[in-house]
Amino acid sequence: MNFKIVVTACLLFFTCTTLYAQVSFVSGEKGTITVRASGNGKSINEAVANAEKDVFYMLLFRGVAGSEQSSALITMREDEAQQRYKAYLDPLLSERYPSFIISAVQDGEPVKGKHHQVSVLLDITVNVTALRKDMEANQVIRKFGF
């Protein structure tokens, strides 16, 4: 009986988990970057927000392959950075990130999936220069040089 409860719980967990959005490079020039990102959520707004947050996550910790931002903005280990700069990163990834978005254009209609999940595809343009300067001002990353 306990075993059946554990297995059921695991199945429910894995089928309800929101997958990380995919982020791919579209174009970039003069301090901005445009990426195509997909996001999932229980509503269109939530899906859009998740897509946008994942773009920032990629910029901060992974980089965007094929773009001028192919290297992550934060070069230290992710868990170390999350801990050391929690006071900066938590508000950035929850509330402040929209101020660095120049545009977010939905591509196509939202797709409804299983378990009331909605998926959206967006072209998001981010002001990377402003983001970098904000991080430098808050001493999350070093200014150019030593």
Partner 1 sequence: MHKILIALLLIMAPQVYAQTASTASGGQTLTVQPKIMVIPFTKEGEDIRTILDQDVNRRIAITKIKEAFDNRGFTTVDFIGKVKSANDNKVFTSENQVDIKSQLIQMSGADIYVQAEVDAQNSASGNSVNVILSAYEASTGNSLANKVGSSGKFFTEDFGKLTTKAVEACGADFMTTLQDKFTDIVNNGKSVMIDISFDQGSKYKMSSEIGNLPLSDQLEEWMAKNSFKNNYHIQGTTDMRMIFDDVRIPLRDQATGRNYNSNNFALELFKYLKSISLDPRKDIKGNTIYITLK
Residues in touch with partner 1 (CB under 8 A): 29-31, 68-71, 75, 129, 142-146
Residue 119 one-letter amino acid: S
For residue 43, what are its two tokens?
């509503």
Alpha-carbon distance of 122 to 112, in angstroms, equals 15
CB 84 within 8 A of CB 75: no
Least distance (Å) between residue 28 CB and partner 1:
8
Least distance (Å) between residue 144 CB and partner 1:
4
Least distance (Å) between residue 68 CB and partner 1:
4
Residue closer to partner 1, measured from CB, 48 or 140: 140
Phi then psi dihedrals of residue 9, to 5 deg: -60, -45
Alpha-carbon distance of 70 to 105, in angstroms, equals 22
